[in-house]
Structure 1
Amino acid sequence: MIQPSNRLDNVEEYYFSKKLKEVNLMKAHGKPIINLGIGSPDLKPPHSVIGAIMDSLEDDYAHKYQSYQGLPELREAMADFYKEQFGVSLSYQTEILPLMGSKEGIMHISMAFLNEGDEVLIPNPGYPTYASVTKLLGAKPRYYDLLEKNHYEPDLFALEKTDLSKVKLMWVNYPHMPTGATASNKLFEDIIKFAKRNNILVVNDNPYSFILNDFPRSILKYVGAKDVCLELNSLSKTFNMAGWRVGMVLGKSEYIDAILKVKSNMDSGMFYGIQKGAVEALNCSKMWYLSMKSVYEQRRKIVWQLAEALNCTYDTQAAGLFVWAKLPEYLKAEEYIDLILKEKSIFIAPGTIFGSNGEGYIRFSLCASTEDLEEALARIK
């Protein structure tokens, strides 16, 4: 038996990869599972997007290798999108790199900037991939607390009292997953100043800006941000294109060039048709965003009722694709969701998979039809 690499010793299979095997086995045995655990949009992309990819299949270059930097028209569309939606001016030639999903971008960025032994500031709770990629590269995760009492904002003053000399990278994520907390202007300004003082590259992971959020923000809009910040974004949630794998990283040209060195050695460019569809999505009118908001508002109201039926509390001002709910104090998250899965055939994500500060919380996804949500509510009641 050939032994796996030592780098896998401290990395586990992704939670949802493991848990969905269990859920799918239950479904195969006839259990009527309602999945409220995964943030995979169940709605279709805009009709024009599907038309664009279909029309592109007959183009002369549709089935060839594509540029590692993506089609110029895709990068132009991304630049126009950032200018219109966030008020951020970017050069489509040097400051934007399309990605085959922002999850892959987390790996590309980390490989471009981290050396073995470097430290990385990672939110707790936060997206588990930040930590797993850090460990895979032999760098060291340093978790910083995000607490409800602090509105899920980092205590930068407390962090600066610690030794930050080995910290190379900091992950931030607003609107925040899993809590739905949003960043104020002041928070982004403070993070940029913190990064400059301590020579840290900050990456804001920003895929949820247009889901139930009235004030989309990009960290790149703030003074001095390009010197120390990158931003990741994605079409997965905004345009219901999760399976298409279209993301982007944006920032200073020197940082983008470093990431391109990694990316160009790991893939052979995004499929032409997907790029053409992405261009169409990025040019959607305001009606698209309003229609998505209407659907998710309706769903969220039912999920709030579901949370209340489970004696949970939640923040009605939170943004994003999830409802982060606090359990009664005597309940443990993983034990409780396993009980609900067994007895009610409803899968909900336990807060603990996002970090130790997720204990006592559960996360509901809004990626289920109103019929499924109402059925879940009926089962709980």
Structure 2
Amino acid sequence: MIDQATRLNHVEEYYFSTKLQEVRALEASGKPIVNLGIGSPDLPPPPQVLAGLNQAMVNPGAHQYQPYRGTADFRKAIQEFYKNFYGVDLNSDSEILPLMGSKEGIAHISMAFLNEGDEVLIPNPGYPTYSSVTKLFGAKPVYYNLEEERSWQPDLEELEKRDLTNVKLMWVNYPHMPTGASGSEDLFRNLIAFAKKHKILIVNDNPYSFILNENPKSILKEEGAMDVVLELNSLSKSFNMAGWRIGMLCGSEKNINSVLKVKSNMDSGMFFPIQAGAATALRLPVGWFSSQNEIYARRKENMLKLSAALGCTSSKDQTGMFIWAKAPEGFTSEGFVDFLLHEHSIFIAPGFIFGSQGEGYVRFSLCATEEKIQTALKRIKP
């Protein structure tokens, strides 16, 4: 028998990887499950994007290896997007690196900057991949608690009291998943000052900034950010292109080049038509986001009704494509999810998978039609 690498002793299979097997088994047995657990957009990409993809298919070089840095046109489109929507000026040749989705970026950044034993500040609650990737590369997760009473923002004064000597990297994620909390300019400025003081690289994971959010922000707009910040972004949520696996990393030339050293040894470039379609998406006018948000706003209204009917407590002031809610009294987050799944054939995500601070909360996904949400509501209030 061949033993697995010891690094795998410190991580578990992704929760949804195993739980969705149970959901599919219930569906196969005839249970009509309403899946409100996954943040995979169910709406189609913009038609212009599909046209751009198809047109690029016949480009003479479409099926060859592509540049490790991505095509010049895609990088230019990212530059234009950051300028037009965030007010951030980037050099398309040196400060932008296209990615095969943000998850790839999380791994590549960690591989580029972390040595074994380095410490990483990780939000609790937060995206589970930050923690699992940190462990896979032999670094040590150091969790900082986010609390509802502080609008799910880090307490930097409390962090200042800790020994930060070995901290190399800090993950932040605003708009925040799973809570839907927005980041402010003050928070970003304070994070930059904190990073400079302690020589920590801040990575802001920013894929939700256009979903039900009238004021999209990038931390890179703040003075001094380029010295200590990298920002991940993605087309998965904003343009309904999750399966395309395409995103971007932005930051200083020095930091981008460090990540490129890893990436260029891990893949041979992204498929040209995907980059062409993505460039088309990034050049769409703001009306695209408005039309999407009209749909998400209606879904959110219905989902808040469902949350209330279930005895959950949730705030209307959330951005992104989820509703974060307190589970009813007497339930753990996992217990409540299992109760809904087996008693009402409704699947939502338990808060504990996002960290100990998520215990007692659940997450509803807005990636479901109004009809599905109404079906779930009728099962609770027939």
Shorter-chain TM-score category? over 0.9
Query: CA–CA distance in 1 between the matches of 2:288 and 2:302?
Result: 22
Q: Which residue of 1 aligns with 2:22?
A: 22
Query: CA–CA distance in 2 between the matches of 1:267 and 1:33?
Result: 38
2:39–2:366 CA contact under 8 A, matched in 1: yes
SS state at 1:203 partner: strand
Where structure 2 has 5 or more consecutive residues not aligned to the other structure, the ranges are none
Within 5 A, what are the aligned runs for 1:80-119?
Answer: 80-119=80-119
Runs of 4+ in 1 over 3 A off after TM superposition: none
Q: Which residue of 1 aligns with 2:7?
A: 7
Query: CA–CA distance in 2 between the matches of 1:54 and 1:102?
Result: 24
RMSD: 0.6
Give the drift of 1:286. Answer: 1.6
**1:338 partnered with 2:344:** no
**1:244 partnered with 2:244:** yes
Please say which of residues 278-287 and 139-148 is displaced more in the overlay: 278-287
SS state at 2:10 partner: coil
Q: How many equivalent pairs are there?
A: 381
Q: Which residue of 1 aligns with 2:171?
A: 171
Q: Which residue of 1 aligns with 2:268?
A: 268
Give the drift of 1:71. Answer: 0.4
SS state at 2:295 partner: helix
Query: CA–CA distance in 2 between the matches of 1:110 and 1:370?
Result: 39
Q: Which residue of 1 aligns with 2:354?
A: 354
Where structure 1 has 5 or more consecutive residues not aligned to the other structure, the ranges are none
SS state at 1:37 partner: coil
* Amino acid corresponding to residue 312 of structure 1 in structure 2: C
Summarize deviations over 1:171-203 as a string: whole Å, max 9, x none: 000000000000111111101000010000000
Summarize deviations over 1:196-239 as a string: whole Å, max 9, x none: 10000000000000000111110000011011000000000000
Q: Which residue of 2 aligns with 1:197?
A: 197
Q: Which residue of 2 aligns with 1:322?
A: 322
Summarize deviations over 1:38-92 as a string: whole Å, max 9, x none: 0000000000101111111111011111111110000000000000000000000
Give the drift of 1:296. Answer: 0.0
Give the drift of 1:320. Answer: 0.3
Give the drift of 1:315. Answer: 1.4
Query: CA–CA distance in 2 between the matches of 1:369 and 1:264?
Result: 40
Give the drift of 1:330. Answer: 2.3
Give the drift of 1:161. Answer: 0.5
Identity %, equivalent residues? 60
Summarize deviations over 1:291-332 as a string: whole Å, max 9, x none: 001000000001000000011111111100100001233221
Query: CA–CA distance in 1 between the matches of 2:133 and 2:263?
Result: 15
2:327–2:360 CA contact under 8 A, matched in 1: yes
Q: Which residue of 2 aligns with 1:232?
A: 232
* Amino acid corresponding to residue 346 of structure 2 in structure 1: I
Within 5 A, what are the aligned runs for 1:116-155?
Answer: 116-155=116-155
Give the drift of 1:137. Answer: 0.3
Within 5 A, what are the aligned runs for 1:297-308?
Answer: 297-308=297-308
Query: CA–CA distance in 1 between the matches of 2:92 and 2:27?
Result: 46
